[in-house]
Amino acid sequence: MSEQDKPFIEVSNLTIAAGGRDIVRNVSFAAKKGEVIALIGESGSGKSTIALSLMGYARRGCRITGGEIRVGDRDVLGLSRAALRGFRGKDIAYVAQSAAAAFNPVKRIRSQIVEAATLHRSMSREEAGRRQKALMKTMALPEPDSIGERYVHQVSGGQLQRMMAAMAMINTPEVMIFDEPTTALDVTTQVEVLTAFKAMIRERGVTAIYVSHDLGVVAQVADRIIVLKDGEVMENAPAEDVLERPRSGFTRSLLDASETRRLDLSEGHDRDVVLQADGVVAGYGRIRNGLPGYPVLHDISFRIRQGQTLGLIGESGSGKSTLGRVLAGLLPAAQGRAMLNGRPLDLRDARRRSKLDRRELQIVFQMADTALNPRLSNAEILGRPLTFYHGLRGGARRQRVMELLDMVRLPAHLADLSPRELSGGQKQRINLARALAANPSVVICDEVTSALDTVVANAVVELLVELQRELGLSYLFISHDLGKIEAMCNEVMVLLKGREVERAARDRLTAAPEHAYTRQLVRAVPQLRRGWLEEVTSVPAAPTA
């Protein structure tokens, strides 16, 4: 065996326990020097736990109970506390999902990056300063010489994520762990960050472990893909094989879930308009002369017909959630009018809305974790709107709660549990059922699938479409995920910095986008094809707006 083929990272029979249960079971894999290994799986599959164990670290409540981890010639699990301190950050570095939480907001970014080097006494302060600038350049950050002087709030999310990778790289580690580094980013930003990561990995020859739930992203960076489910390896093969010739059924289901799908929708150009908005202007701060202090939305108009779905897409900060909040009455609009089922809907003062208006227009929030009161049972959560809008009590209310659970395909015995005892997908269904309890005609869905795994999210989207067919609901579907929008929306509105830049039927939007930004958005959706990233970046990026 030549020196080149010898595995650099070797994990054998790794078992990690938490709360008396094995959350990682008998996981073995190896990586050669300079190879990029992707760990992929749904939430709870143990992918992050495995990645962290490579640094000899187990999260609170977890314990590495068996197996062996070798990095280079070190036995990681046998290292002393002091040896681990020298090992982490110097020989092995970690890039977390949320860079915003990993940086100290009151210190300059440069000093935090330099500190990572001086802490290990691996180089002088001046040397570290020079390297910091060089790395900022590698990461394709603007003004690489001076951008480090900024604070966390002065850079964008994508820039911060790249700076975090620069921090991880300052000691030229042999191994880098990327833990969902682009999950919190917009797709257009994700492309830039991925390109920078890939260039850096190749340039510096580091061995990398890339943790992600997104096959499209993994397809671009990984040499080898390890598919995990419930802490066990389902498949471990070169990336091409996993993507093109998957052997395990689970991998196939993951691949299927990331395919773009188009659910059958009912067409109805001649149906009644259920919700209509004209010239909505809204934002934050005091409203003066019909303009808010910090305007977010400019002159938004749309109409949604009965049984139809309008998709609203845009990146974070584009104002799409703000529009949902304005319509729901949580944020007063500065200008604009709206009609709900032919009646004027008060956008300026929600307290003046009638109970009928409130009942017919419901909103489902993104995070089911915070949208459901943890101190109430699911039956109480669903029962309250029944009592409030329909005056149902006692047995009648109980029965209707059961019908609602059935409607969102949940078993009846969940009624008396607390939402804390449910899985993410189940919680989101309760969240949806609460809106349905009102018998609405329009439901605003604010990023309802963003916090869910692909398979679960697809099921929620299918449920939404089925309910639409059964109940004749209309949706305003807010999302940053073009795939979901394409799956279930008749018409799509693209928002950029609070303005509508394009509106089209779903087929035309992806096939022939008109506005430059829409084209960029459509192109930036990761595809399972290897080499997609290079194709995207070789085309000069269109200027945004």
Write the single-letter amino acid at 467. L
Between strands 273-288 and 232-238, the pairing is unpaired
Q: Which is nearer to another protein, 30 or 402 (CB)?
A: 402
In the bound complex, what is the minimum distance in angstroms from residue 203's beta carbon to another protein?
44
For the beta carbon of residue 77, count every other beta carbon within 10 angstroms. 15
Q: Rounded distance, CA 94 to CA 80, Å?
A: 20
Q: Which is nearer to another protein, 255 or 402 (CB)?
A: 402
Contacts of 329 (CB under 8 A, 6+ apart): 346, 347, 350, 353, 358
Q: Which is nearer to another protein, 363 or 495 (CB)?
A: 363
Vertex 312: Cα angle to 529 and 404 (nearest 5): 100
In the bound complex, what is the minimum distance in angstroms from residue 375's beta carbon to another protein?
4
The helix/strand/coil state of 60 is coil
Q: Which is nearer to another protein, 307 or 385 (CB)?
A: 385
Write the single-letter amino acid at 469. R
User: Is-contact 163 139, C-beta < 8 A?
Assistant: yes
In the bound complex, what is the minimum distance in angstroms from residue 64's beta carbon to another protein?
23
Burial (CB count within 10 angstroms: exposed 0-12, middle 13-18, buried 19+), residue 52: buried
Provide the residue count of the chain: 545
Name beta bridge partners: 503.
493
> What are the Cα distances from residue 239, in Å, to 32, 174, 192, 307?
15, 22, 22, 42
For the beta carbon of residue 144, count every other beta carbon within 10 angstroms. 17
Q: List contacts with another protein (CB under 8 A).
A: 328-330, 350, 353, 355, 358, 362-363, 365-367, 370-376, 379, 384-385, 388-389, 395, 398-399, 402-403, 406, 412-413, 415-416, 434, 438
- What stretch of H or E contains 86? helix 81-87
In the bound complex, what is the minimum distance in angstroms from residue 402's beta carbon to another protein?
6
- What stretch of H or E contains 389? helix 378-390
In the bound complex, what is the minimum distance in angstroms from residue 404's beta carbon to another protein?
10
In the bound complex, what is the minimum distance in angstroms from residue 57's beta carbon to another protein?
22
Q: Which is nearer to another protein, 288 or 355 (CB)?
A: 355
User: Is-contact 185 164, C-beta < 8 A?
Assistant: no
Q: Rounded distance, CA 204 to CA 198, Å?
A: 10
Two tokens, residue 112: 């935090």
In the bound complex, what is the minimum distance in angstroms from residue 340's beta carbon to another protein?
13
In the bound complex, what is the minimum distance in angstroms from residue 420's beta carbon to another protein?
8
In the bound complex, what is the minimum distance in angstroms from residue 311's beta carbon to another protein?
21
Two tokens, residue 229: 């489910």
